[in-house]
């Protein structure tokens, strides 16, 4: 596709349920990021994938959070046993190989845990 695509765009889930958020990066982009943005807050780094290298998971807030990137393309962020504090916008971004190039963001997945 032309841009980074995320789904679902909106998700309301009950506390304790698991959710999966999907990201389709720009075709050919080797780098993929997940960020979280709470209302009125800055972007919080979650996880970074670069090619076939081991992902940088240093930003994941707890072991309830995990992410995969299959075939170097699509990525799924999974949140297990959701809590109300998980409510936020989850933004995915991708970039081609060169670190100095533009990072393109998707429109985000708005998660509300009730």
The C-alpha angle with vertex 111 and arms to 105 and 114, in degrees rounded to 5, equals: 170
Size of the site for other proteins (CB under 8 A): 25
Q: Residue 72 is encoded by which pair of tokens?
A: 């170097």
Cα separation of 18 and 30, whole Å? 28
43, 64, 73, 76: which one binds other proteins (CB under 8 A): 43
1, 42, 70, 114: which one binds other proteins (CB under 8 A): 42
Q: Are strands 75-79 and 88-95 parallel, antiparallel or unpaired?
A: unpaired
Q: Does 25 help bind other proteins (rule: CB under 8 A)?
A: no
Q: Using CB under 8 A, which of the segments 14-22, 52-60, 62-70, 72-80 binds other proteins? A: 52-60
Q: Does 106 help bind other proteins (rule: CB under 8 A)?
A: yes
> Closer CB to other proteins, residue 79 or residue 91?
91
**Dihedral of the alpha carbons of 74, 30, 26, 110, in degrees to the nearest 10:** 60
Task: Give the CB-side neighbour count of residue 5, counting CA atoms within 13 A.
Answer: 7
Q: What is the total residue count of the chain?
A: 114
How far apart are CB 45 and other proteins at their closest, in Å? 6
Binding site for other proteins (CB under 8 A): 4, 31, 33, 35, 41-43, 45, 48, 50, 53, 56, 59, 91, 93, 99-108
């Amino acid at each position: 596709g032309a841009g980074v695509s995320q789904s679902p765009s909106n998700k309301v889930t009950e506390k304790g349920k698991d959710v999966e958020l999907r990201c389709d990066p720009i075709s050919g982009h080797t780098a993929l990021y997940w960020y979280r943005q709470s209302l009125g807050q800055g972007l919080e780094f979650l996880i970074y994938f670069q090619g076939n290298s081991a992902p940088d998971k240093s930003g994941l807030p707890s072991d309830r959070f995990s992410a995969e990137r299959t075939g170097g393309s699509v990525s799924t962020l999974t949140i297990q046993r959701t809590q109300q504090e998980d409510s936020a916008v989850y933004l995915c971004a991708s970039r081609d190989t060169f670190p100095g190039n533009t990072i393109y963001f998707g429109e985000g997945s708005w998660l509300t845990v009730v």
